[in-house]
Amino acid sequence: MMFKGMPGILVVVIGVIGCASTSSVRLGDASHSRPAVPWQQVVVYSDAAHVPGRYEEVALLHTTGHWGWGNEGTMYNSMKKDAGKLGANAIILDSMSEPSAGAKVASAIFGVGGAERKGKAMAIFVFPPGDSSATGKGHQ
């Protein structure tokens, strides 16, 4: 039968297409790194005003994902995973953009690129309350 192996191939293709991809640019002194944080423990803040206390900027995050195979949650999780690997325990969202309707149509009909969601965020380390090492570092 011709389609016997197709379900497995389809799962692999959907898995590859459905992923969001995050790249990061570390800020500050690269020799001052922290241990990794499990991505499930990385907190998402909508803006800096919501961060409770002092923090230090760790990295700029840039995420892309195909508009048809994911959502903002997929992109946020990708950012959280990258931030956690860098020792950040939170991210501050910057912007999220959707492709235009024309780009979506061109992608669907002609298979051309450019129909990607894009997001930016700042990976940060939020100091615990009363942490003396927070003196003179980061923002409030």
| Higher per-residue confidence, 38 vs 100 | 38
* Confidence class for position 37, pLDDT limits 50, 70, 90: very high
Summarize pLDDT for 39-78 with one digit per residue, the tens: 999 999 999 999 999 999 999 999 887 655 567 788 899 9
Dmax (CA) for the chain in angstroms is 69
Mean pLDDT rounded to a whole number for the chain: 76
Closest-CA residue to 119 (of 94, 100, 99): 94
pLDDT higher than threshold 50 for residue 135: no
Q: What pLDDT is stored for residue 105 in this prediction?
A: 54
Tell me the pLDDT band of 96, cut-offs 50, 70 and 90: low
CA distances from 40 to 15, 44, 82, 115, 124 (A): 21, 10, 11, 28, 15
pLDDT score recorded for residue 33: 81
Reduce the DSSP state of residue 24 to 3 states and report it. Answer: strand
- The amino acid at residue 92 is I
The pLDDT confidence band at residue 132, using thresholds 50, 70 and 90, is low
Q: Which domains does the chain have, with CATH numbers?
A: 38-127 (3.30.110.70)
Amino acid at 102: G
Q: Which of 55, 54, 59, 53 is nearest to 33 (CA)?
A: 59
For residue 86, what are the CA distances in angstroms to 26, 51, 82? 8, 19, 7
Residue linked to tokens 């003396």: 132
What percentage of the chain has pLDDT greater than the value 90? Answer: 41
User: What local confidence, expressed as pLDDT, does residue 48 receive?
Assistant: 96
Q: Determine the pLDDT at residue 6.
A: 42
Pair of tokens at residue 73: 């949650």
